[in-house]
Amino acid sequence: QVQLVESGGGMVQAGDSLRLSCATSAQIFSRSMGWFRQAPGKDREFVAGINWRGDSTIYADSVKGRFTISRVNVENTVYLKMNNLKPEDTALYYCAAARQNDPATIFEYDYTDWGQGTQVTVSS
């Protein structure tokens, strides 16, 4: 089992940018990775995913064009760059790892390992 530790969250104003990091305890080069988020009173939702090679990405419509997921396998780290943040982006952001060699998907059940989350708060 791999341990995932998110960082980089904070309190920002609308229009600002943040970059979240997800550091892992083991090599993740063969595992697709995803970012999810959960706002207060809402279900956790998919944000972005990236395949193990880093050459295929998927995004939720709500963040497409503003967020970018990337990975540096030699560093065992996945990133989420968030630009033009909006108050509706306020949530606890989670990093997750899929099963080995599986593709990145939008479904929570396809991810087997999860971090504890990092809080992002965007004020208007």
Q: Tens digits of per-residue pLDDT, 91-111?
A: 999 999 998 888 899 999 999
Mean local confidence (pLDDT), 21-27: 89
CA–CA separation, 4 vs 31, rounded Å? Answer: 13
Q: Determine which helix (DSSP H) or strand (DSSP E) holds 67, and give its type and residue range.
A: strand 67-72
What pLDDT, on a 0 to 100 scale, did the predictor assign at position 16? 98
Is residue 58 pLDDT above 80, yes or no? yes
What pLDDT, on a 0 to 100 scale, did the predictor assign at position 60? 98
Is residue 121 pLDDT above 80, yes or no? yes
Mean local confidence (pLDDT), 30-52: 96
CA–CA separation, 81 vs 19, rounded Å? Answer: 4
The mean predicted confidence, pLDDT, of the chain is 95
CA–CA separation, 124 vs 110, rounded Å? Answer: 34
Which residues touch 54 (CB under 8 Å, ≥6 apart)? 70, 71, 73
What pLDDT, on a 0 to 100 scale, did the predictor assign at position 100? 85
Residue for token pair 């790892």: 97
What pLDDT, on a 0 to 100 scale, did the predictor assign at position 120? 98
C-beta separation of 17 from 84 below 8 A? yes
